[in-house]
Amino acid sequence: MLQIQTIRDNKEDVILALGKRNIDAEPLIEKVLQLDENRRAAQTSLDNVLAESNKISKEIGVLYKTGKVQEANLLKEQTVKLKEESKQLGEDLNTAEEELQTLLYQLPNAPHASVVKGSTEEDNEEIFNEGEIPTLDSGAMPHWELAKKYDIIDFELGVKIAGAGFPVYKGKGARLQRALIAYFLDKNTEAGYTEIQVPHLVNELSGYGTGQLPDKEGQMYHVTADDLYLIPTAEVPVTNIFRDVIVNENDFPITYTGYTPCFRREAGSYGAHVRGLNRLHQFDKVEIVRVEHPSKSYEALDGMVEHVKNILRELKLPYRILRLCGGDLGFTAALTFDFEVFSTAQDRWLEISSVSNFETYQANRLKLRFKDENGKNQLAHTLNGSSLALPRVLAGILENYQTPEGIKIPEVLVPYCGFDMID
């Protein structure tokens, strides 16, 4: 969440930045600052009462030692009143802190200076594109028809077992899925990321730590009996490794990669744009997460973008990169680059990766800090990216690599698959 000191010192700048998200933040910011004043006033009053109580307690000790029992007893009556007053002030302080925290949780991150104001994905800026869009034969099919033709993904069976959005991968489809996971993990570890396996459920504190709660509560599957949430991305458990941690400045950069299934309760909709693998409730994703020194985080973000580029170059998929506008920017992100692969059979772009810098937003929630050269605690920066999300990568491969004889496997994946054609 945003730091209260930042809001206090740069109120107008914060309001303008949040305006890029099409938010009139001024009323909420003013309320935050008022609650902060209330909190600080309650803290000052409590500190004064506790100081007075401690002072009187010392005087009482001296009086008893010198035999002035009556005077000591009179002062003890004052300490009883001060204790009651401190209790009430403590309750007032807790209430003010809880109200302030609740309001701060409602404020999204302030966009980076390079982010433009916009309302929808139509306002995102294309900053890069690469790769040749193949020319397909007249009988080319979208991936959901290819999946049925070659019996590699069964969407109807998934509906029978769980419901819409839970596909069953079969035969060479399952092996291609596994190959992609292994390939992505290998590429990430070769780039210096440490592979990690994490739980697929998280507690409420973890959801709040990375900002999925309360913002995305309706989109997360909630196991109510145990008050646990199925993860929407590996970002949540991996980043929460550092909740309430003070890292060593010499440890930067801290880099992890992990594969997990991901679960999202997407709002129901219909049409070709959500058919097949285009939108799922359960899907596989390989994630990269970084904890960085604030002075290095944007250099790290550029490096993550280049890393995903290299993977797509090896897969030989046509892709583009978008810098998200304020209206399409995720709640916790300061700057996000989306990668989209071109689906030739669908004649549309499919999002396959988001690479984001959260600056101190998550670290403030997590209390993720480091000691600077002066020994003072500072908030770290956190970043994450999809490297990559599998469903639409798989859709892009099936559609762009289809031939009349079958579906070719990208050359870089053949050693992982053990075959070069789905036929």
The tens place of each residue's pLDDT in the chain, 423 residues long, gives 899 999 999 999 999 999 999 999 999 999 999 999 999 998 999 989 888 888 887 777 777 778 776 777 777 777 778 888 888 888 889 999 999 999 999 999 999 999 999 999 999 999 999 999 999 888 899 999 999 999 999 999 999 999 999 999 999 999 999 999 999 999 999 999 999 999 999 999 999 999 999 988 889 999 999 999 999 999 999 999 999 999 999 999 999 999 999 999 975 445 556 789 999 999 999 999 999 999 999 999 999 999 999 999 999 999 999 999 999 999 999 999 999 999 988 999 999 999 999 999 999 999 999 999 889 999 999 999 999 999 999 999 999 999 999 999 999 999 999 999 999
Q: Which domain holds residue 26?
A: 4-106
Rounded to 5 degrees, φ, ψ at 36 are -65, -40
| Single residue among 51, 80, 106 that ends a domain in this structure | 106
- Residue 275 and residue 317 in one domain: yes
Q: Which residue ranges make up the annotated binding site for ATP?
A: 264-266, 351-354
**Is position 96 within any domain?**
yes
**Is position 158 within any domain?**
yes
- Residue 151 and residue 33 in one domain: no
C-alpha count within 13 angstroms, C-beta hemisphere, residue 324? 25
The encoded tokens of residue 295 equal: 């002075």
| Partner residues linked to 129 by β-bridges | 320
**Is position 115 within any domain?**
no
- Residue 225 and residue 192 in one domain: yes
**Is position 116 within any domain?**
no
Q: Which residue ranges make up the annotated binding site?
A: 233, 264-266, 287, 351-354, 384
Direct distance between the N- and C-terminal alpha carbons of the chain, in angstroms, rounded to an integer: 51
- Residue 145 and residue 97 in one domain: no
- Residue 91 and residue 234 in one domain: no
Assess contact for 395 and 344: CB atoms under 8 A: no
In this structure, are strands 201-203 and 228-230 parallel, antiparallel, or unpaired? Answer: antiparallel
- Residue 144 and residue 94 in one domain: no
Helix (H, G, I), strand (E, B) or coil at 184: helix
- Residue 158 and residue 281 in one domain: yes
Structural domains of the chain, count: 2
Helix (H, G, I), strand (E, B) or coil at 421: strand
- Residue 208 and residue 288 in one domain: yes
Amino acid at 20: K
- Residue 238 and residue 305 in one domain: yes
Q: Which residue ranges make up the annotated binding site for L-serine?
A: 233, 264, 287, 384
- Residue 58 and residue 184 in one domain: no
